């Protein structure tokens, strides 16, 4: 159950786009079990692939004996890294210009790494045969603690890289070090805090998998795969495997959640392709839950030191941070290549400050690769956690109310577009009304009174605030690309003779409801009802090129493309209408769905009339081709910067240290809203994610590098029982550069909620003198904190 309070609060008089809160077009099929996922694909003669994974974190491979497995019933092929190496396919590029083993040849570098695969007649025979492969490992010391990765004498993980002598991955810095030092030197108050954003996993409901079908006769490869970026994957397969791009078709059917987990190319996809080429049959690979948790893209794993400088009366002057980033065994971060730390540069948050500086060192460890943007526009989650936590530490130091401290330091509306001290240009924002609305919905003053009374009785109640600004919609091609592919998005719109339409997108939905919202965007621009607009996506043979769905970029980039392609069609429709009504184009007026003659609303033609004319017999105006369609490739001029104010209320049981989130108020501003119902769903999901990260989730390892979060019994994710009834509200500050003023929203709640929850828990623990405790705030962590024994994970 949810409280839908949004519509009772002000929305700057802005109506949602098109048909607003319409039900999702995709729901009839999802609710009736008619979704079609990769694992539903069944092809005649299809074989099944299973992957043998390393049981240890770091070891030299001495030998692999596959002979018994090969003789096992139903087995069609057993392939090792050595066999792939002969084809030059043992290694593949990662999205961050590193390389990753498809199948290990020399060493294994994390527990769960791919070592060999079996192709067999069914899934069970393939799994059984894995047991018959005999691998001899020469076990090496692993590097598990990122803090020790650069110590002299630490075992060298990446000896495959020429000349590599240590586990250093990269250094990165941003901001002005000297200016920041100067500001810190003259500040009245400086507060510093060590913070860990633990390794977590996106854990989508559907794991990763693929069906590869290579046709040796026409040379065509068809690949159904769980990818958030079908076009980008196709191009990379073409480059890596040397297959001609037009002979590769990547199809992403329905996807059961992505959350950044399905952005990278995983060895399993490549193995399925190789297996189909080798056997001449279609081959399915579907990983199980443990494989997904131990080997696919993790997120976060940042060890941070945050410092904040301010005047005694609470003016924030500067923010400085030092980050140690654990990238695992291969740098598999998925971010625009020029941003090795993603968009961490927005760590100055929503505040108008004088100087900022960040220095980051990234290291290799014997853990799974990743660093994916789990519900986060490339490391923004880490940045927002850092700034919102240290602002609370500062409030504590100053004895100031955390809401008041934030209100005092917000970037003011007249300062937008605002260039941050690390060079990001926030497009628009109006922070104070958003914050005030959240406080009003929460009954903030009343909550503080309640807390005071409870404290007097020894009860532990906490109120936590987080205010965030995100950077979503990557990105302008002048500075953003992934492995050389610019981040623009294509869109194509065709209106059929009967006035129904099909819009083809380059982005891919994993459950966000694009079939609904993109129809709404086009409907708003061209006046054809959304029910008459079919949205096609997820098939590279049938949609225009674009870089895919992540970093909440679909609405900012592809949504803009959809609006503009519809306007292009409307422009052509206007010319055709002028011919039909025998007036000049300038004498026509557009009302949604029809053109009429100025001053004569009775004389009009509908978009459906025009569509028929465009395809029909008879002359069209001079120089106008038949048909009613257009195509576009949209290159955004900037990112969009949604913001939000979150307030969390927690109660802690003093006897068990169990935290329960009693209330959560989320006010989001994502500019013009397309479908408020979908937005609320996105926010509810993201807030639930936040409860998971703040209180439950962590991918941990023992000192040998065994993953301790390899099942959902150990890696806890929240259910409806752990979360409250969400209270959502909104303000609307349109993006000035987006054609309909929309900003992204899909990840906002995941980004903004963890600091709100942690701030609330720390606030509840104030009577114990606690200033910080690291996530996940499990009962044992909270218990330790209450006893003054908080320690980093």
Residues that bind ligand PCD (CB under 6 A): 228, 257-260, 373-376, 510-514, 517, 549-555, 670-675, 678-679, 682, 685, 742-747
Nearer to ligand PCD, 319 or 683 (CB): 683
Backbone phi, psi, residue 547, to 5°: -90, 0
Q: Shortest gap between Cβ of 511 and ligand PCD (angstroms)? A: 3
Pick between residue 740 and residue 765 the one whose CB is nearest to ligand PCD.
740
In the complex, minimum distance from the CB of residue 15 to ligand PCD, in angstroms, rounded to a whole number = 13
To ligand PCD, the closest distance from the beta carbon of 630 in angstroms equals 21
Q: CA 81, 84, 90, 94 torsion: positive or negative?
A: negative
* Residues in Cβ contact with 442 at an 8 Å cutoff, skipping those fewer than 6 apart: 463, 647, 649, 663, 665, 727
Taking CA atoms, 505 is separated from 264, 508, 545, 618, 747, in Å, by 20, 8, 8, 32, 20
The span from the CA of 249 to the CA of 252, in Å, is: 10
Of 25 and 596, the one with the shorter C-beta distance to ligand PCD is 25
Q: Which residues of 27-58 are buried (b: 16+ CB within 10 A; e: fewer)?
A: eeeeeeeebebbbebeeeebbbbbbbbbebbb
Q: Give the residue with the Cβ less far from ligand PCD, 279 or 635.
A: 635
Rank residues 376 and 488 by Cβ distance to ligand PCD and give the closer one: 376
**Following CA atoms 307, 309, 312, 313 in sequence, which dihedral angle do they give, to the nearest 10 degrees?**
-100
As a whole number of angstroms, the distance between CA 356 and CA 321 comes to 8
Integer angstrom CA distances of residue 503 from 250, 546, 728:
19, 14, 31
As measured in angstroms, the least distance from the Cβ of 377 to ligand PCD is 6
Least separation in angstroms between residue 370's CB and ligand PCD is 11
CB 611 within 8 A of CB 628: yes
Nearer to ligand PCD, 116 or 535 (CB): 535
**198 near 698, Cβ under 8 Å?**
yes
Q: What is the number of other CB atoms lying within 10 angstroms of the CB of residue 478?
A: 9
CB of 513 to ligand PCD, least distance (A): 4
Question: Is the bond preceding residue 491 a cis peptide, omega within 30 degrees?
Answer: no
Cβ at position 635, least distance to ligand PCD in Å: 17
For ligand PCD, which is the closer residue by CB, 98 or 747?
747
Closest CB to ligand PCD among residues 265, 761: 265
Is 309 or 732 the residue whose CB approaches ligand PCD more closely? 732
How many other C-beta atoms lie within 10 A of the C-beta of residue 540?
Answer: 22
CB 390 to ligand PCD: min, Å: 24
Q: In terms of CB distance, is 61 or 507 closer to ligand PCD?
A: 507
Q: Nearest distance from residue 558's CB to ligand PCD, in Å?
A: 8
253: number of Cβ within 10 Å? 18
Closest CB to ligand PCD among residues 203, 393: 203
Taking the complex as a whole, the smallest distance from the CB of residue 130 to ligand PCD amounts, in Å, to 30
The distance of closest approach from Cβ of residue 94 to ligand PCD in the complex, given in angstroms and rounded to an integer, is 16
Contacts 24+ apart (CB under 8 A), 129-132: 129/50, 129/69, 129/72, 129/74, 129/75, 129/78, 130/50, 130/51, 130/52, 130/69, 132/68, 132/69, 132/72
CA distances from 485 to 192, 246, 337, 411, 559 (A): 40, 17, 10, 34, 20
Complete DSSP assignment for 20-77: -SPPPTTHHHHHTT---BGGG---TT-EEEEEEE-SSSSEEEEEEE-HHHHHSTTEEE
Angle at 434 between CA 428 and CA 440, to 5 degrees: 170
Q: Which of 303/376 has CB closer to ligand PCD?
A: 376
Q: Are 193 and 200 in contact (CB under 8 A)?
A: no
Query: Alpha-carbon distance 718 to 506, whole Å?
Result: 32
Indicate the residue among 527 and 685 with the shorter CB distance to ligand PCD. Answer: 685
Q: Which long-range contacts (CB under 8 A, 24 or more apart) does 177-182 make?
A: 177/357, 177/359, 179/354, 179/355, 179/357, 180/318, 180/319, 180/320, 180/355, 180/356, 180/357, 181/357, 182/355
**Integer Cα distance of 441 and 353 in angstroms:** 28
**What CA–CA distance (Å, rounded) separates 143 from 141?**
7
CB of 744 to ligand PCD, least distance (A): 3
- Least distance CB 553 / ligand PCD (angstroms): 5
In the complex with ligand PCD, the residue whose CB is nearer, 187 or 674, is 674
The Cα 600–Cα 594 span in angstroms is 13
Measured from the CB of residue 529, what is the shortest distance to ligand PCD in angstroms?
Answer: 17
**Which CB, 270 or 674, lies closer to ligand PCD?**
674
Q: Report in angstroms the alpha-carbon separations of 601 from 567, 604, 606, 613.
A: 21, 7, 12, 20
Q: What angle do CA 459, 460, 461 make, to 5 degrees?
A: 115
Residue 739 CB, nearest approach to ligand PCD (Å): 12
Nearer to ligand PCD, 31 or 585 (CB): 31
Segments of 228-278 assigned E as strands:
248-251
In the complex, minimum distance from the CB of residue 465 to ligand PCD, in angstroms, rounded to a whole number: 23
Nearer to ligand PCD, 442 or 693 (CB): 693
Please state, in angstroms and as integers, the Cα–Cα distance from residue 691 to each residue in 664, 775, 777, following that order.
10, 10, 10
Q: What angle do CA 332, 642, 720 make, to 5 degrees?
A: 75
Which residues sit opposite 426 in a β-bridge?
A: 418
Nearest distance from C-beta of residue 456 to ligand PCD, angstroms: 42
Place of tokens 């990818």: 227
Residue number, 512 or 759, with CB nearest to ligand PCD: 512
User: Least CB distance from residue 373 to ligand PCD, whole Å?
Assistant: 4
């Amino acid at each position: 159950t949810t409280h839908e309070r949004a519509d009772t609060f002000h929305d700057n008089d802005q109506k949602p786009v098109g048909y607003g809160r319409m039900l999702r077009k995709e729901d009839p099929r999802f609710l009736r079990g008619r979704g079609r996922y990769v694992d539903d694909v069944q092809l005649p003669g299809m074989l099944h692939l299973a992957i043998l994974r390393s049981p240890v974190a770091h070891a030299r491979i001495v030998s692999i004996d596959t002979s018994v497995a090969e003789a096992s019933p139903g087995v069609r092929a057993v392939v090792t890294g050595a066999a792939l190496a002969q084809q030059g396919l043992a290694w593949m590029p990662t999205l961050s210009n590193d390389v990753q083993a498809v199948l290990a040849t020399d060493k294994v570098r994390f527990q769960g790494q791919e070592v060999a695969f079996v192709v067999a007649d069914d899934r069970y025979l393939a799994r059984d045969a894995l047991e018959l492969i005999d691998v001899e490992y020469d076990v090496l010391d692993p590097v598990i603690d990122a803090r020790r990765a650069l110590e002299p004498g630490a075992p060298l993980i990446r000896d495959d890289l020429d000349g590599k002598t240590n586990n250093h991955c990269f250094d990165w810095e941003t901001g002005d070090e000297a200016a920041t030092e100067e500001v810190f030197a003259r500040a009245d108050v400086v507060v510093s805090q060590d913070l860990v954003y633990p390794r977590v996993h996106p854990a989508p409901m559907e794991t990763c998998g693929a069906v590869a079908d290579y046709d040796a006769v026409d040379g065509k490869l068809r690949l159904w795969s769980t990818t958030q970026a079908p076009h980008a994957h196709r191009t990379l397969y073409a480059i890596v495997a040397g297959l001609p791009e037009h002979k590769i078709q990547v199809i992403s059917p329905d996807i059961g959640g992505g959350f950044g987990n399905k952005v990278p190319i995983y060895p399993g996809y490549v193995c399925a392709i190789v297996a189909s080429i080798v056997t001449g049959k279609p081959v399915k690979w579907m990983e199980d839950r443990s494989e997904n948790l131990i080997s696919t893209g993790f997120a976060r794993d940042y060890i941070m030191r945050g410092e904040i400088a301010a005047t005694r009366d609470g003016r924030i002057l500067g923010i400085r941070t030092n980050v140690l980033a654990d990238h695992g065994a291969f740098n598999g971060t998925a971010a625009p290549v020029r941003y090795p730390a993603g968009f961490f540069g927005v760590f100055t948050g929503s505040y108008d400050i004088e100087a900022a500086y960040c220095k980051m060192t990234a290291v290799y460890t014997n853990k799974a690769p990743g660093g994916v943007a789990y519900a986060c526009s490339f490391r923004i989650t880490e940045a927002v956690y850092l700034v919102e936590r240290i602002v609370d530490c500062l409030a504590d130091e100053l004895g100031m109310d955390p809401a008041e401290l934030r209100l005092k330091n917000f970037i003011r509306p007249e300062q937008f577009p605002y260039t941050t001290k690390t060079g990001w240009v926030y497009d628009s924002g109006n922070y104070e009304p958003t914050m005030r609305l959240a406080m009003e919905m929460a009954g903030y003053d009343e909550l503080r009174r309640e807390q005071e009374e409870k404290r007097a009785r020894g009860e532990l109640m906490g109120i936590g605030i987080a205010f965030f600004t995100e950077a979503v919609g990557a990105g302008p091609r002048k500075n953003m690309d992934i492995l050389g592919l610019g981040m623009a998005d294509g869109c194509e719109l065709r209106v059929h003779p009967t006035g129904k339409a099909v819009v083809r997108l380059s982005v891919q939905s994993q459950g966000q409801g694009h079939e609904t919202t993109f129809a709404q965007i086009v409907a708003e621009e061209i006046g054809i009802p959304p029910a008459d607009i079919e949205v096609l996506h997820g098939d590279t043979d049938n949609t225009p090129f674009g870089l895919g769905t992540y970093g909440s970029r679909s609405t900012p980039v592809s949504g803009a493309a959809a609006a503009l392609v519809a306007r292009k069609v409307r422009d052509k429709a206007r010319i055709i209408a002028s011919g039909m009504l025998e007036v000049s184009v300038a004498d026509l007026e557009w009302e949604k769905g029809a053109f009429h003659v100025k001053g004569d609303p009775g004389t009009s033609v509908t978009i459906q009339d025009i569509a028929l004319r465009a395809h029909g017999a008879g002359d069209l105006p001079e120089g106008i081709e038949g048909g009613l369609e257009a195509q576009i490739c949209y290159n955004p001029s900037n990112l969009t910067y949604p913001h939000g104010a979150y307030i969390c209320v927690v109660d802690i049981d003093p006897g068990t240290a169990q935290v329960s989130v009693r209330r959560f108020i989320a006010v989001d501003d994502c500019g013009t809203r397309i479908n408020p119902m979908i937005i609320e769903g996105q926010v509810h999901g993201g807030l639930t994610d936040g409860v998971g990260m703040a209180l439950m989730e962590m991918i941990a390892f023992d000192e040998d590098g065994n993953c301790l979060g390899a099942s959902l019994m150990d890696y806890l994710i929240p259910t409806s029982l752990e979360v409250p009834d969400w209270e959502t509200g909104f303000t609307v500050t349109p993006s000035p550069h987006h054609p309909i003023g929309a900003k992204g929203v899909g990840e906002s709640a995941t980004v903004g909620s963890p600091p709100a929850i942690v701030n609330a828990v720390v606030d509840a623990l104030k009577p114990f003198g606690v200033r910080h405790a690291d996530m996940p705030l499990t009962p044992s962590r909270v218990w330790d904190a209450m006893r003054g024994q908080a320690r980093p994970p």
